[in-house]
C-alpha cells in the first residue's frame, strides 16, 4: 500500500512538473527591484491612469524599458529567457467588470500599493493577480456589497454561468441542493433574487404547482412534471416529508377529499393487513417513518382516529417510540399529552 501511495505521489509530482509553465519564453522582471530603485509605477505603466475599464491599460512594452535601459536594445536575453520563442502575453481576464483605474488612482491618491500590495515585493511580472479576489475589493467596497449593489462592478450579474463562488454555482442539480444552500445564505441569494423567486414554488398558499404554471419552460427541472398524481406516493415514499417543504398539510386532505380517496368505500385503501398486528403491512411501521403522511389526513386533534386505540387502556398499545418525552409538559393539561392522559 505504501508503495502504491509513493508511486501515486511521484506520478503526481511528475505530472505537476510537466504542467509547469516553463515552456516557451518567460520574462525576467522584478517589480521589487524597480520599486527599491524608486521607479514609480506610472513611469512604466504610462497609460494605466486614464484607462476606464479593467484590462484595457496596456502593459509596458519595449519603449518603456528602453527608455531607461539602453543596454537592452541588442541583448534580448537580459529579459527574455528564450528570445527566439517570444510570444504575446495573455490578456488579463476582465470578467465583465466595471473598473476604472482612473477613478481608483485618484481615490488612493496615486498610492498603487493600496491595491497592489504584494506587487512591490514581487520578483516576477504580474505576480499579484492571484490576490485579486473579492476580498481585496472588499477592503474598500464592503458598503456596496452589503447594499447588494453588485452591478456597480459586475456588468452582467444575472447572466453569469460561473458565479464568483461555488455557492453561487447554479449548474447541475441546483434545484435539489438550493434549499440547503439558502438556509444560511438568504442574504447572498437576495443579491439577485427577491422573495418572489422563493414564492413561485414554495408558497404553500398558492393553488398551482410550478410544472403547471410554468409548463412552457420545459428546460426547468420541475418536480411535478407529467402525471405526477399517479406517482406522488412513490415520490413521497422516497424522500419522506419532502412534499411538506412546499405543500401545506391541508392540501393533502383537500385533494384526497376531491379525488375521492378519503371517502368511505373509495378506491384508495390502506394495504391488506394494515390493522393486523404482525402483518408486514401493519400501519405501525409506516407511522414511525412517514408520520407526516398519516397526519395529512388523520390529524384532527381530539377527534384523531389513532388515539381511539393508542391510549391508556386501548387496544393499540403504547405509541411512544422510546424517545425521552419532554418532562416539562403537563400530562393532564398540555397538548398533546392530555388527549390520552388527561
Partner 1 sequence: MRRILAIFLAVSLVPVAATAGPVSPSVSGSTETFTTFWRELDPYAASDATKSRMPVYQYVTVRGRDLGVAGLSADVSGFGQLELLKGFAADRATGDLMYGYVRYVDPKGYVRATAGRQFVYRGAGYGVALDGATVEGFLPLNLQVQAFGGIVAERTFEGTLDRPAVGGRLAWMPRDFGHVGASYYQEWSSDQIDRQNVGADFAFRYFKEVTVDGSSTFDMVGHGVQDVDLTVSYLPFRWASIFVHYGLFDPDALLPRTSIFWVFARELHQSVGGGFDVRPFQGFTFWVNWDQYLYGSGDTGYLGKARASYQLPVTIPVTVGLEYDRMSETENGYDAVRVFGTGETGYGLRFSAEVLAYFFAHDVRSYDKVITGFGGLGYRFLHGLVLDVGAEVNRTPLVSSEVRGLAKLTWDFSFGEEGTR
Positions in 249-308 near partner 1 (CB under 8 A) = 249-250, 258-261, 263, 266-267, 285, 287-292, 294-296, 298-301, 304, 306-307
Residue (14 or 266) nearer to partner 1, CB:
266
* Residue 154 DSSP one-character state: B
Residue (51 or 257) nearer to partner 1, CB:
257
When asked if residue 332 is in the footprint of partner 1 (CB under 8 A), the reply is: no
When asked if residue 184 is in the footprint of partner 1 (CB under 8 A), the reply is: yes
Sole binder of partner 1 in the list 60, 126, 164, 314 (CB under 8 A): 164
Q: What is the dihedral of CA 170, 174, 178, 180, to 10 degrees?
A: -120
Sign of CA dihedral 135, 141, 146, 149: negative
When asked if residue 325 is in the footprint of partner 1 (CB under 8 A), the reply is: yes
CA 173 to chain centre: 11
Binding segment for partner 1 (CB under 8 A), chosen from 5-13, 56-64, 73-81, 210-218, is: 210-218
Give dist(CA 326, CA 158) in Å, integer.
48
Give dist(CA 330, CA 337) in Å, integer.
7
Sole binder of partner 1 in the list 18, 218, 264, 278 (CB under 8 A): 218
When asked if residue 27 is in the footprint of partner 1 (CB under 8 A), the reply is: no
Residue (85 or 98) nearer to partner 1, CB:
98
Say how many CA atoms lie within 13 Å of 56 toward its Cβ.
13
Binding segment for partner 1 (CB under 8 A), chosen from 5-13, 20-28, 109-117, 170-178, is: 170-178
Task: Provide, rounded to whole angstroms, the least separation between the CB of residue 206 and partner 1.
Answer: 6
Q: What is the dihedral of CA 237, 238, 242, 248, to 10 degrees?
A: -20
Sole binder of partner 1 in the list 3, 88, 234, 264 (CB under 8 A): 234
Sole binder of partner 1 in the list 141, 213, 224, 282 (CB under 8 A): 213
Interaction residues for partner 1, span 110-139 (CB under 8 A): 133-135, 138
Sole binder of partner 1 in the list 17, 21, 90, 226 (CB under 8 A): 226
Residue (74 or 171) nearer to partner 1, CB:
171
Residue (28 or 303) nearer to partner 1, CB:
303
Q: How long, in residues, is the chain? A: 342
Q: How many CB atoms lie within 10 A of CB 54?
A: 19
When asked if residue 210 is in the footprint of partner 1 (CB under 8 A), the reply is: no
Binding segment for partner 1 (CB under 8 A), chosen from 28-36, 40-48, 71-79, 202-210, is: 202-210
User: Is cis: bond before 256, omega within 30 of 0?
Assistant: no
Give dist(CA 83, CA 299) in Å, integer.
82
Give dist(CA 203, CA 248) in Å, integer.
9
Sole binder of partner 1 in the list 65, 192, 209, 223 (CB under 8 A): 192
- What are the contacts of 268-271 at 24+ separation with CB within 8 A? none
- Which DSSP string do the residues of 257-274 spell out, in sequence order? HHHTTTSTT-S--PPTTT
Sole binder of partner 1 in the list 230, 269, 312, 332 (CB under 8 A): 230
When asked if residue 331 is in the footprint of partner 1 (CB under 8 A), the reply is: no
Helix or strand or coil: residue 3?
helix
Task: Provide, rounded to whole angstroms, the least separation between the CB of residue 1 and partner 1.
Answer: 24
Q: Which residues pair with 27 in a beta bridge?
A: 80
The region, left, alpha or beta by phi > 0 then psi within -120 to 50, assigned to residue 274 is: alpha
Helix or strand or coil: residue 329?
coil
Size of residue set near partner 1 by CB under 8 A = 112
Give dist(CA 285, CA 172) in Å, integer.
35
Task: Provide, rounded to whole angstroms, the least separation between the CB of residue 311 and partner 1.
Answer: 10
CB 244 within 8 Å of CB 236: no
When asked if residue 207 is in the footprint of partner 1 (CB under 8 A), the reply is: yes
Binding segment for partner 1 (CB under 8 A), chosen from 12-20, 56-64, 108-116, 317-325, is: 317-325
Amino acid at each position: 500500500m505504501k508503495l502504491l501511495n509513493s508511486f501515486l505521489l511521484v506520478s503526481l509530482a511528475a505530472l505537476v512538473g510537466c504542467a509547469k509553465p516553463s515552456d516557451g519564453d518567460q520574462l525576467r522582471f522584478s517589480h521589487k527591484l524597480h520599486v527599491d530603485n524608486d521607479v514609480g509605477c506610472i513611469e512604466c505603466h504610462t497609460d494605466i491612469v486614464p484607462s476606464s475599464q479593467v484590462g484595457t491599460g496596456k502593459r509596458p512594452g519595449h519603449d518603456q524599458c528602453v527608455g531607461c535601459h539602453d543596454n537592452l536594445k541588442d541583448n534580448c536575453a537580459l529579459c527574455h529567457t528564450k528570445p527566439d520563442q517570444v510570444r504575446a502575453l495573455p490578456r488579463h481576464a476582465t470578467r465583465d467588470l466595471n473598473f476604472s483605474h482612473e477613478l481608483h488612482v485618484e481615490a488612493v491618491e496615486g498610492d498603487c500599493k493600496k491595491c497592489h500590495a504584494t506587487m512591490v515585493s514581487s520578483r516576477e511580472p504580474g505576480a499579484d493577480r492571484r490576490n485579486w479576489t473579492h476580498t481585496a475589493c472588499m477592503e474598500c467596497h464592503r458598503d456596496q456589497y452589503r447594499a447588494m449593489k453588485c452591478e456597480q462592478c459586475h456588468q452582467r450579474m444575472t447572466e453569469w454561468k460561473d458565479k464568483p463562488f461555488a455557492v453561487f454555482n447554479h449548474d447541475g442539480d441546483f434545484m435539489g441542493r438550493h434549499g440547503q444552500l439558502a438556509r444560511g445564505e438568504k442574504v447572498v441569494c437576495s443579491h439577485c433574487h427577491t422573495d418572489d423567486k422563493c414564492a413561485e414554488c414554495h408558497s404553500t398558499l398558492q393553488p398551482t404547482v410550478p410544472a403547471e404554471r410554468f409548463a412552457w419552460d420545459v428546460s426547468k427541472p420541475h418536480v411535478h412534471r407529467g402525471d405526477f398524481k399517479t406517482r406522488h406516493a412513490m415520490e413521497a415514499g422516497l424522500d419522506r416529508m419532502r412534499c411538506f417543504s412546499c405543500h401545506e398539510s391541508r392540501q393533502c386532505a383537500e385533494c384526497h377529499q376531491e379525488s375521492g380517496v378519503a371517502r368511505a368505500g373509495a378506491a384508495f385503501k390502506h394495504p391488506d393487513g394494515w390493522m393486523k398486528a404482525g402483518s408486514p403491512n401493519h400501519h405501525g411501521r409506516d407511522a414511525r417513518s412517514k408520520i407526516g403522511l398519516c397526519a395529512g389526513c388523520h390529524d384532527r386533534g381530539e377527534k384523531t382516529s389513532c388515539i381511539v386505540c393508542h391510549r391508556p387502556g386501548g387496544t393499540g398499545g403504547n405509541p411512544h417510540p422510546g424517545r425521552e418525552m419532554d418532562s416539562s409538559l403537563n400530562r393532564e393539561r398540555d397538548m398533546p399529552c392530555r388527549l390520552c392522559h388527561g
